[in-house]
Every structure is written in structure tokens, then in C-alpha cells.
């Protein structure tokens, strides 16, 4: 058993019979009264955020998780299929467990988090950025970068994003997967 002194970002704990990841925490020692720890927790099954306050020193049940690198193969419309690069074992994961399935491209590397006690998949995380090719967008305008105007574009995975006016069909763009937004144009 651990206590609130062991809190750190990314720690997986069991709380209310569910698994949560600590997103952020703050130890608070008021001038009067007992110390406490203010936290923001993310439910690993639903992805919902939960603010919670723990009394300082309370015992918590830390869960062991393991992150395994895998390669995305394909999807059949319902499930997504991944392969372990070392054992070549294939697994299928529901779309709800993937943080940004619209940016998955065949052959991409991902990190899959397993609960080691039950050997069940908790989440599938893409890298923080991916590079994809623009397959459709309206014709671009040269020199119109001062207005910071954006237009719609479709990337090779079929996802819709907003890009600057100077991006054309065939350009490769870097996309932030956590926010689902354009980061920069990639030159080859």
C-alpha cells in the first residue's frame, strides 16, 4: 500500500472500484487544519476527468501497468488490430480505448497500456505527433500568412483538420494527436 506522498503524474490507482490515472496533483498545507492533496484523475475506461481531494497520508491502492510498443495493422470497421513487433502476436482493440483513432495509419507505432494483474488492455496511445499527407483541400494562396486564416483539409487517414491557406494537396503536415490540430508543414 502506498500513501498520498507517493503521488506522481501518470500513476495508476484504484479508486471507487475503477482504475484512474493521476493527471495532476497538489499538496496543500493550510495554516489551520490538516494537510490534503488536491488531484485531477482520469478514468481509464471512460476517459472522464474527476477532481478529488484526498486527506494527506491516506492509503491508496497503486495498480501495476505495463506499456508495450505495438504496430497498427488495420481495422475491420469495429475493432483495430495491432501486432507486437517482438513476438508477432496480434491483438484487437475497441475504438473507444484509442486516444485518436482518426490519425492511425497502417504501420504506425503506438503504445498500448496493459493492466498487469488482469492482462487486459487499458488504453492505446498514439505518439504526440504524426506526419500525414493532405489528400484534399481547396487550392492554396501564396503569401497570405499574415491573417492566420485556416481552411479545411482531409488527410490520408480520412480525418478532417484545419490547416493554413498555403497548404496544398500532397503536402505532408505534422498533426498534434492530443488536440487533433495542425502543428506544421513537413518538408522532405
CATH fit for domain 2-62, picks 2.30.30.30, 2.40.160.40, 3.40.50.300, 1.10.10.10: 2.30.30.30
Q: Name the 3-class secondary structure at 127.
A: coil
Pinpoint the residues of the chain covered by CATH 2.40.50.140.
Answer: 65-125, 129-186
pLDDT of residue 145: 60
* Nearest partner of 36 among 49, 12, 53, judged by Cα: 53
pTM for the whole thing?
A: 0.74
Burial of 155 (0-12, 13-18, 19+ CB in 10 A): buried
Query: Three-class SS of residue 95?
Result: helix
Residue 141 has a pLDDT of 64
| Range 65-125 has CATH code 3.40.50.300 | no
What value does the mean pLDDT take over residues 153-166?
91
- Contact of 157 with 171, CB cutoff 8 Å: no
Q: What is the pLDDT of residues 12-69, one digit of tens each?
A: 999 988 889 899 999 999 988 899 999 999 888 777 889 999 999 899 999 888 889 9
Q: What does the block give as the cell for 98? A: 484509442
CATH of 129-186, one of 3.40.30.10, 3.50.50.60, 3.30.420.40, 2.40.50.140: 2.40.50.140
Domain with CATH 2.30.30.30 in the chain: 2-62
Rg (CA), the chain: 21
pLDDT tens string 104-151 = 999 999 999 888 888 888 888 889 999 999 999 988 666 666 667 888
Predicted confidence at residue 36, as pLDDT, reads 93
Amino acid at each position: 500500500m502506498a500513501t498520498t506522498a507517493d503521488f506522481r503524474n501518470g500513476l495508476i490507482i484504484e479508486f471507487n472500484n475503477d482504475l484512474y490515472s493521476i493527471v495532476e496533483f497538489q499538496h496543500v498545507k493550510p495554516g489551520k487544519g490538516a494537510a490534503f492533496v488536491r488531484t485531477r484523475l482520469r478514468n481509464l475506461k471512460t476517459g472522464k476527468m474527476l477532481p478529488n481531494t484526498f486527506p494527506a497520508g491516506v492509503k491508496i491502492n497503486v495498480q501495476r501497468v505495463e506499456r508495450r510498443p505495438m504496430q497498427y495493422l488495420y481495422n475491420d470497421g469495429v475493432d483495430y488490430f495491432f501486432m507486437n513487433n517482438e513476438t508477432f502476436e496480434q491483438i484487437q482493440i475497441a475504438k473507444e480505448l484509442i486516444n485518436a483513432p482518426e490519425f492511425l495509419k497502417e504501420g504506425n507505432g503506438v503504445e498500448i497500456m496493459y493492466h498487469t494483474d488482469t492482462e487486459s488492455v487499458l488504453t492505446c496511445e498514439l505518439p504526440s505527433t504524426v506526419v500525414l499527407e493532405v489528400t484534399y483541400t481547396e487550392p492554396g494562396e501564396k503569401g497570405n500568412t499574415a491573417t492566420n486564416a485556416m481552411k479545411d483539409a482531409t488527410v490520408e487517414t480520412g480525418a478532417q483538420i484545419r490547416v493554413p491557406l498555403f497548404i496544398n494537396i500532397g503536402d505532408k503536415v505534422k498533426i498534434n494527436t492530443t488536440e487533433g490540430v495542425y502543428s506544421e508543414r513537413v518538408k522532405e
